[in-house]
Amino acid sequence: MASEPRRHSNVVLNLTPLIDIVFLLLVFFMLTAHFIEEERIDIQLPKASSSEPLEDSKYVTVTLTPDGQLLVDESVTELTDLTEVLRGALHSPGKSFVRLKGDQQADFGKAVQVIDAARLAGAEALDIQTEKP
């Protein structure tokens, strides 16, 4: 039995169509992607000359908007549920303080109710966030 000589074929894979498809997929996803823009709450903090920068990781932030809306760490909350929401947020690891961010035009009565709810929830301390003049 005589063995046949092996044929060496020079097969070259054409990558041009593959590159075209990858480029078209990239363009498709870039054009159809929705870029999410976070909503910002427009509040004007009161000014205080004795304010100090503090670490954000230890705080549960309660925001009081000019129209009376309450937000606990960017989640809308009702005043009636505030104590329970704060109690749950304060039991998160590393969170033991409450920071109140309120607009200058916010209702003072609601601010007092937020302070009361923070005390009932077991906050170690409560800070009122201000900005330097």
How many C-beta atoms lie closer than 10 Å to residue 86's C-beta?
Answer: 25
- Give, in order, the Cα–Cα distances in Å from 31 to each of 23, 26, 67: 12, 9, 37
Residue the block writes with tokens 């920068």: 53
Q: Are 117 and 81 in contact (CB under 8 A)?
A: no
Specify the range with the lowest mean pLDDT, choosing from 3-7, 14-18, 36-40, 89-93. Answer: 36-40
Residues facing 59 on adjacent strands: 97
**pLDDT tens digits for range 25-80:** 999 988 888 776 656 666 666 777 766 666 666 788 888 888 888 888 888 888 88
Q: Is 0.85 topped by the overall pTM?
A: no
Per-residue pLDDT, 51: 63
Q: What is the mean pLDDT of residues 82-101?
A: 83
What pLDDT band is residue 126 in, cutting at 50, 70 and 90?
Answer: confident
Q: What is the mean pLDDT of residues 88-115?
A: 82
| Domains identified in the chain and CATH numbers | 59-128 (3.30.420.270)
Q: Are 64 and 93 in contact (CB under 8 A)?
A: no
How many C-beta atoms lie closer than 10 Å to residue 115's C-beta?
Answer: 16
Task: Using the predicted structure, report yes or no on whether residue 2 has a pLDDT greater than 70.
Answer: no
**pLDDT tens digits for range 75-91:** 888 888 888 888 888 88
Q: Are 111 and 82 in contact (CB under 8 A)?
A: no
Per-residue pLDDT, 21: 94
Q: Are 130 and 51 in contact (CB under 8 A)?
A: yes
